[in-house]
Amino acid sequence: MKVIIQRVSEASVVIDKKEVASIKKGLLVLLGIVNEDAQEDIDWLCKKIVNLRIFPDENEVMNTSLLDVEGDVILVSQFTLHASIKKGNRPSYIKAAKPDVAIPLYEDFIKTLQSELGKAIQTGAFGADMKVHLVNDGPVTIIIDSKNRE
């Protein structure tokens, strides 16, 4: 599993010209899933996401977490995170999990992240054409791959 985490002062997701998710301070998390992913990847990433000390403290040092600042989350499924560009100029998405594998993992990720955060999170819609709007605060953008945890 791979995530791109962006610290935001605001973010939203629009599908078919309708806003389906909107937050102020928090994180926009883009999630890419591969066939080999499992609950242990979900558990590890969700703990990392809520505990990453990437919000400023009273001294403007990145030293507080999403939990500390009581921030919100928008989670967006994004298969293109696993694009391969080794051959040619057209990305291959063969590594990305197909919906029959990815959807249950995506749903489990939502439940686990909500449990770790202690409140509901907002989401896009799996497989939908989404317009994601954000104001990246910092900017702070972090990429984490659950397969690189050692």
The question of whether 122 is a catalytic residue gets the answer no
Residue 115 pLDDT class (50, 70, 90 cuts): very high
Q: Is residue 139 scored above 80 in pLDDT?
A: yes
**pLDDT, average across residues 31-42:** 97
Q: How far apart are CA 72 and CA 43, in angstroms?
A: 18
Q: Is residue 150 scored above 80 in pLDDT?
A: no
Nearest C-alpha neighbor of 4 from the set 79, 104, 97: 79
The question of whether 6 is a catalytic residue gets the answer no
The question of whether 141 is a catalytic residue gets the answer no
Domain ranges of the chain: 2-148
Which of 6, 79, 109, 122 is labelled catalytic? Answer: 79
DSSP 71-135: -EEEEEE-GGGG-B-SSSSS-B-TTBPPHHHHHHHHHHHHHHHHHHHTS--EE--TT--EEEEEE
Which of 6, 55, 64, 80 is labelled catalytic? Answer: 80
Contact call for residues 33 and 79 (beta carbons, < 8 A): yes
Output b/e per residue, 23-35; b: 16+ Cβ within 10 A: bebbbbbbbbbbe
Q: What is the pLDDT of residue 134?
A: 98
Q: How far apart are CA 70 and CA 16, in angstroms?
A: 30
**pLDDT, average across residues 121-146:** 96
Q: What is the pLDDT of residue 87?
A: 87
DSSP state of 24: S
The reported pTM is 0.95
SS3 content of the chain, % helix, strand, coil (to 5): 30, 40, 30
φ/ψ of 17, rounded to 5, equals 65, 15
Token pair for residue 131? 């317009």
Q: What is the CATH number of domain 2-148?
A: 3.50.80.10
Q: What is the pLDDT of residues 50-98, one digit of tens each?
A: 999 999 999 999 999 999 999 999 999 999 999 999 988 999 999 999 9
**pLDDT, average across residues 27-47:** 97
Neighbours of 126 (CB within 10 A): 17
Which of 78, 112, 122, 123 is labelled catalytic? Answer: 78
Residue 144 pLDDT class (50, 70, 90 cuts): very high
